[in-house]
């Protein structure tokens, strides 16, 4: 068969680690032999080197392939050659790789698995074998994850640190398997010998002194966690990343056993790129005396008792009584007053127990509807945002899906090619001389993403218009006028069903 008679094809290569069996060269060689035998000519290559096959978002090669195929902007290839089913992916949901394959097939670009014993021809035997192979590929990752976790737990019990940053006041030391010190590790440095291990050691003297001072302020002066953070910022106490001290930074120091010399592992789990889940203390891997302590164990245990006594042992009524006492003392309630009060539990306690701080206010008889107007508008805005996301997904059931997260993570949109689309709602506010402006709050993690911006009507009840941007440049909150020149940096969306068209024009699908 001459070159002109051969069918043009793209090859997709993926290697998670440098294993000889699945090296990119070996895959390419096998694919080329398959192409020679079956009348294909390789005209394009997509690859993901050292990428896990569990999720799509880290695989830029596969994302580009899907984007090219779905958009029709691909080269003239009419087939995709992959070494085997596992190279296409080890997705935990067997429907996910099937979905990506369907996108290619429906665009007229079938996938051929070159090293499999079955032909991907849609026959019943091939469908059964492919479904089985997909399930086996996902199960391999699950089994491997169990084995890796077991090995990590064993090393943690021996007192070795299992990755991660050391934390303020601590540093990493490279040691031999018998714990003979070799050298300190700077930020970003890693061990080069597989058998070497890492332990924690006290950091610079100035940081160690501040760690002890944090425990002293909490135990002796009975300061709140927020109060300690403010004091550290007031005294310009630096952190390695140059960020400000906040509640989480101080609470982490007060509550983490590593500052008492204990090695801790598996405080949370996030296996196979799932959302992190906190584990109960009974499931932690805890090894006392693994490191040189920064504070003694007696100080640490007293700190834990005081932390727990502040809220965990109190009933709901006791927690509300603390709020009533603060109201009686100050004559009002606010987020800042709660932060500043040593006798009052943190705002997160009230949100966790009663659903919201507003509900806690209502239970102690504080506030009227007017005081919560801004909260009501914010809540309505969130509802409209969810409705818009659902509307987009219904309009583009094949092209766009929603990534739903919980807690502090926001729902976002994702195109079939893997592009993340941020959704921002700009609510109207009355500003200077009673003029109308629209307030935009860019999300720090989404500024580089393609963005769908929806402005609300003057009463914040309905959508006024939609605009699409390749990204959002401003880092902080800003306001727009009705015909703001900034809007010209994007494209106005005449109808919502034109969203995918504009995203493709911007090269963001």
pLDDT for 408? 45
Q: How many residues does the chain have?
A: 509
Pairing of strands 478-480, 436-440: antiparallel
Structure tokens at 22: 């699945």
User: What number is the average pLDDT over the span 137-143?
Assistant: 84
Residue with tokens 């035997």: 125
Comparison of pLDDT for 307 and 33, the residue scoring more: 33
- CA dist., res. 468 & res. 413, Å (int): 13
Buried b (16+ CB within 10 A) or exposed e, 84-122: bbbbbbbbbebebbbebbebbeeeebebbbbbbebebee
Greatest alpha-carbon span in the chain: 91
- CA dist., res. 386 & res. 503, Å (int): 20
204: Cβ contacts below 8 Å, ≥ 6 apart = 171
Comparison of pLDDT for 260 and 266, the residue scoring more: 260
pLDDT for 370? 65
**Share above pLDDT 70 across residues of the chain, in percent, rounded to a whole number:** 94
Taking residue 288's Cβ as centre, other Cβ atoms within 10 Å add up to: 14
pLDDT for 204? 94
Comparison of pLDDT for 370 and 399, the residue scoring more: 399
- CA dist., res. 508 & res. 418, Å (int): 9
507: alpha, beta or left, given left = phi > 0 and alpha = psi -120 to 50? left
Q: Walk across the sheet containing 181-185 and list its strands.
A: 181-185, 170-175, 197-202
45 band by pLDDT with thresholds 50, 70 and 90: very high
For 17-31, 101-115, 399-413, 488-502, which range has the lowest pLDDT when averaged over its residues?
399-413
375 band by pLDDT with thresholds 50, 70 and 90: low
Q: Using an 8 Å Cβ cutoff, are 13 and 80 in contact?
A: no
Phi then psi for 426, rounded to 5 degrees? -100, 110
CATH topology classification for 170-307? Hect, E3 ligase catalytic domain fold (3.90.1750)
Residue 386's Cα: distance from chain center in Å?
A: 19
pLDDT for 409? 55
324: Cβ contacts below 8 Å, ≥ 6 apart = 364
Q: What is the pLDDT of residues 391-426, one digit of tens each?
A: 999 999 889 998 875 444 578 898 888 888 999 999
| pTM for this prediction | 0.56
Q: What is the pLDDT of residues 114-134, one digit of tens each?
A: 999 888 888 998 899 999 998
Q: Which CATH architecture has domain 374-505?
A: 3-Layer(aba) Sandwich (3.40)
Question: HSE of 142 in the Cβ direction (CA atoms, 13 Å)?
Answer: 9
Q: Using an 8 Å Cβ cutoff, are 460 and 429 in contact?
A: no
Q: How far apart are the first and last CA of the chain?
A: 37
Residue with tokens 């090293």: 115
With helix as H, strand as E and coil as C, how does 378-423 read? HHHHHHHHHHHHHHHHHHCCCCEEEECCCCCCCCEEEECCCCEEEE
Closest CA to 52 of 10, 81, 86: 86
Q: Where are the domains of the chain?
A: 3-142, 170-307, 314-367, 374-505
309 band by pLDDT with thresholds 50, 70 and 90: confident
Q: Quote helix, strand, coil % in the chain, to nearest 5.
A: 45, 20, 35
pLDDT for 20? 53
- CA dist., res. 302 & res. 338, Å (int): 24
pLDDT for 212? 96
377 band by pLDDT with thresholds 50, 70 and 90: confident
Average pLDDT, the chain: 87
Alpha-carbon separation of residue 9 from 88, 105, 432, 462 (angstroms): 16, 13, 61, 48
Q: What is 3-142's CATH number, 3.30.870.10, 1.10.3230.20, 3.40.50.150, 3.40.50.1390?
A: 3.40.50.1390
Alpha-carbon separation of residue 87 from 40, 60, 447 (angstroms): 19, 14, 32
Question: HSE of 406 in the Cβ direction (CA atoms, 13 Å)?
Answer: 4
Structure tokens at 55: 């999720």
């Amino acid at each position: 068969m001459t070159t002109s008679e051969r069918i043009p094809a793209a090859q997709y290569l993926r290697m998670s680690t440098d294993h000889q069996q699945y090296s990119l060269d070996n895959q390419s060689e096998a694919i080329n032999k398959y192409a020679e035998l079956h009348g294909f000519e390789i005209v394009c290559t997509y690859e993901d080197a050292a990428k896990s096959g569990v999720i799509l978002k880290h695989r830029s090669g596969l994302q580009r392939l899907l984007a090219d195929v779905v958009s029709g902007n691909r080269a003239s290839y009419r087939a995709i050659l992959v070494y085997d089913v596992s190279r296409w992916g080890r997705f935990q949901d067997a429907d996910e790789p099937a979905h990506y394959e369907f996108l290619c097939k429906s665009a007229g670009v079938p996938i051929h698995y070159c090293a499999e014993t079955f032909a991907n021809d849609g026959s019943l035997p091939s469908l059964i074998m492919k479904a089985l192979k997909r399930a086996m590929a996902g199960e391999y990752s699950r089994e491997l994850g169990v084995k890796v976790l077991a090995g990590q737990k064993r090393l943690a019990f021996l007192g070795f640190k299992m990755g991660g940053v050391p934390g303020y006041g601590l540093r990493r030391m490279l040691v031999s398997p018998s714990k003979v010190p070799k050298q300190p590790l700077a930020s970003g440095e890693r061990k080069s010998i597989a058998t070497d291990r890492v332990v924690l050691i006290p950091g610079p003297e100035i940081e160690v002194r501040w760690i002890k001072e944090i425990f002293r302020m909490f135990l002796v002066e009975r300061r709140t966690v927020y109060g300690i953070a403010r004091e550290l910022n007031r005294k310009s106490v630096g952190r390695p990343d140059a960020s400000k001290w906040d509640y989480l930074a101080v609470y982490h120091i007060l509550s983490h056993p590593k500052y008492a010399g204990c090695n801790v592992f598996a405080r949370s789990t996030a296996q196979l790129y799932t959302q992190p889940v906190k584990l109960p203390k009974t499931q932690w891997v805890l090894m006392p005396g693994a490191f040189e302590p920064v504070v003694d164990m007696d100080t640490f245990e007293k700190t834990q008792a005081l932390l727990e006594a502040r809220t965990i042992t109190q009933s709901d009524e006791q927690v509300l009584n603390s709020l009533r006492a603060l109201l009686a003392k100050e004559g009002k309630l606010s987020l800042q007053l709660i932060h500043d009060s040593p006798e009052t539990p943190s705002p997160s306690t009230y949100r966790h127990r009663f659903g919201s701080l507003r509900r806690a206010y209502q239970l102690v008889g504080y506030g009227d509807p007017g005081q919560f107007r801004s909260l009501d508008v914010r809540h309505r805005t969130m509802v409209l945002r969810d409705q818009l996301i659902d509307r987009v997904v219904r309009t583009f059931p094949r092209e766009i899906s929603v990534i739903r997260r919980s807690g502090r993570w926001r729902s976002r949109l994702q195109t079939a090619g893997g592009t993340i689309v941020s959704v921002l709602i700009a609510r109207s506010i009355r500003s200077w001389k009673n003029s109308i402006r629209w307030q935009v709050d860019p999300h720090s993690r989404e500024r580089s993403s393609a963005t769908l911006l929806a402005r609300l009507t003057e009463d914040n009840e309905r959508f006024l218009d939609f605009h699409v941007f390749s990204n959002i440049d401003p880092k902080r909150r800003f306001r727009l006028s009705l015909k703001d020149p900034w809007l010209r940096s994007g494209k106005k969306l005449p109808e919502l069903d034109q969203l995918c068209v504009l995203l493709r024009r911007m090269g963001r699908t």
